[in-house]
Each structure stands twice: as C-alpha cells, then as structure tokens.
Amino acid sequence: MKKMNRSAVCRVLGLLTLAMALGPTPSAQANERRFAYAYESGVMAPGSRELEYWSTWRGGRAEFYSRFDHRLELELGLTDRLLTALYLNWRSVSRNDPANPDTTVTEQEFTGISSEWKYKLTDPVADPVGAALYQEYTLASDEFEWESKLILDKKLGGTLLAYNLVVEPEWKFGPANSEYELWVENVLGVTQFLTPRFAAGLELRNPNLKTRDSTGLQHSALFLGPTLSYSSKDWWVAAAFLKQLPAPKRSLANRQDSLVLDEHEKTNVRILAAFRF
Amino acid sequence: MSAYWRLSASRAAALSGLLAAAAACSGSLPRLPGRTLYVRKCSACHTLHLPAAYPAERWPAIMEAMKGEAKLTEEEARDIERYVLTAAAQ
C-alpha cells in the first residue's frame, strides 16, 4: 500500500473510532449478539420482535468446496425469561463436479425450518454467572435435528465471557435407510468492549462427531479466530472469521490430514445482522 | 464411560471452570429489597448497569427516562430507584 493511501485509511479508521466513542451512550440490548457462534444468556423484553439474518461461508476442503448457509430468523420475547424464534434455512454449495473434475457444480437447497426456545435462568451482571437453557428443532424433508445448549456467560467490567455446551443428535432419512449422528460442541468466546457499542475478541469452537458406526469419536475439530460486534439502539451486527487448527482427534476417514476436511472446512466466516421492530 | 464422553466432559469441565473462576473474581448485585424487581424489569431490555456505574444524582433522571420504556408503575420505579441508590452506597 502506498504511503498516502495508508495515511488516508488510518484517518478514516481514526474518525470511525472517534465517532463510535463519542456517539450517544447506548442502552445495550439484552439480546444483541456479541459473538457470531457463542450464544449469551440474554433474552428479549416481552412483546419485543427482531428480524435476524445469518450468513455463514464455509470454504476449503481437500478439493474445491464453497458453501453458504443462510438463515432468516424472526425472534419474539414472550416473558422476561423466555423467547422463541422461527427460522427459514437455505444453502448454496459449489464443488468439483465428480463427473468432470475440471468444472464446478453449484446446488441450492431449502434446508428446512427451525423453532428455537431459550429460557434465561440467571443474569451475567446480577449473578455470579449468567445461564440459559436453549432448545432448537429443525425439520427438513429428509432430516430432523434437535439441538440443546447450556449457555453460560459473565460480564466482568468491559470484558464478556461466554461458554456453550451444545448437544445435537441428527437423524437423516434416506429412501433405503436412515443415518444417525451425534454432535457435541464446545464454544468459548471472550470479547472486550472497546466502546459501549463496539467489541472485539476471539471465538473458539470444538465440534465433535460421533456416528452410529464409530465406537469412539469420528473426529474432533478445532476452530479459532477473531470476532467483532457493533450494536445500536435498533440494530446490531456480529461477525467471526475462524480458521481450522490441527485437530485434537483426526478424522477416521482421513488420518493423514491434521485438519478435519471431510465434514469441516479450512475457513468459516459468519455474519449476523439484526433489526428490531 | 467411553473415551468420547470423557473427552467432551473434561473439556466442558475445564471451560466451565474458567467461567466459574471469572465469576469468583467478580461480585454480584447486593441482595437488598428491590433487587428482584431491578433485575427482572431492567435486564429484560438491556444489559444491567451496576448501581455504582452512575453517580447517585444521575439515577433519578435515568429512572424518569426509563420508567416509560419499561412500563413501570410509579411504585416499581420508586422501589428500583431506592434499590440502586442503596446498593451503590454500599
């Protein structure tokens, strides 16, 4: 980058930082996300509504692979402890054509609807640890997923810590037979509020897969990367860029590779954006 | 217990321990009359502010501004204000 360009970029970044720092003091919303993967214990006020859009890009397997998972979520606060949400899910996958490896094929697919229920037990500021229980059911034409989460979080001054234990059995129904998979995932996030609106931190994911056929784990993968979030009175955004690290347990399908590239990718990027109305 | 569950349980325990340690290093809100109302009404809409986060003379104006947003009755607003001022003074 030329010197003049770098200086202009620095000036713009400086002005943006100043604008964020001097902006009106926000009343941070309870349900804004400060992480793209980890959930926090907050819920929404009764009667509050939010429209949330998710986009996750997953790229890089042993061969060319590029996938976008999209979700549109309508969230509603039911009581001061309980919220519910409804999702529409769809995805687009591009990969090498098995019949002609020099070309790629792209498939788009509606991947079902989901129903989310979250119940807040304790508060991350008022109590020693914030906690919530989370249930999500996803129904597609050939698949049923049941996701349960234990959500723990704690706000310490300008630092927010969050940990999720996720357990998710999946049933896939084929014309001839059915498949069963069990995912157990640890998600840890830590972020620092640089201004009342803007936070930057790190997220760590550790998804583990057990299949019906495997006696132990099929694999245990590890992802780490930065996360950024910004919130305003009526909207918020959160994003994370995660790279896969050498796996704690390599895939049984490919023990040579230190990364798990049969079910996961080298890079995951997720962006969430939400509007309250 | 299989290796699968041992591995996941040990990781979960380690990460939960990290949060527990963080919690142990921090205080929580004083248990005084009005605490439940303060947590229930205020944390439903925004991250709670510690009572000591603002000078005592600012709380009446904050409560005046927020009682409409949170649909508080006069009595509830008074109880919450009394709580934050008492807790901040501790």
Return the residue in A120, A129, A213, A223 with the most chain B beta carbons within 10 A, the one to mutate for interface testing.
A129
Residue A23: per-residue pLDDT? 39
> Which of chain A's residues have a Cβ under 8 Å away from the Cβ of B23?
128-129, 154
User: What CA–CA distance (Å, rounded) separates A46 from B76?
Assistant: 17
Q: Which helix (H) or strand (E) holds A143?
A: strand A143-156
pLDDT digits (tens, 9 = 90+) for A161-207: 999 999 999 999 888 888 899 999 999 999 999 998 999 999 999 99
Asked if residue A52 lies in contact with residue A78, where contact means CB atoms within 8 angstroms, the answer is no
First-to-last alpha carbon distance for chain B, in angstroms, is 49
pTM of the predicted model as reported, rounded to 2 decimal places:
0.83
Q: What percent of chain B has pLDDT over 70?
A: 70
Long-range contacts formed by B65-72: CB under 8 A, 24+ apart? B66/B42, B69/B45, B70/A45, B70/B41, B70/B42, B70/B44, B70/B45, B72/B41
Q: Which residues, other chains included, contact A192 with Cβ-Cβ below 8 Å and sequence gap of 6+? A: A158, A159, A160, A199, A200, A201
A191 vs A199: CA distance, rounded Å: 6
Q: CA nearest B35 in A: which residue?
A: A126
Round the average pLDDT of chain A to a whole number and report it.
Answer: 88
Quickly count: other Cβ atoms within 10 Å of residue B36's Cβ.
12
CB contact set of A28 (below 8 Å; sequence gap of 6+): A196, A231, B46, B47
Contact flag A30-B46 (C-beta cutoff 8 Å): yes
Residue A1 has pLDDT above 80, yes or no: no
Q: Do B8 and A208 touch (CB under 8 A)?
A: yes
Predicted pLDDT at A215? 81
Q: Do A123 and B25 touch (CB under 8 A)?
A: no
pLDDT (tens digit per residue) in A8-66: 544 544 543 444 343 333 344 567 899 999 999 999 988 899 999 999 999 999 889 99
Whole-angstrom Cα distance, residue A160 to residue A181?
Answer: 32
* Helix and strand element counts for chain B (H, E): 4, 0
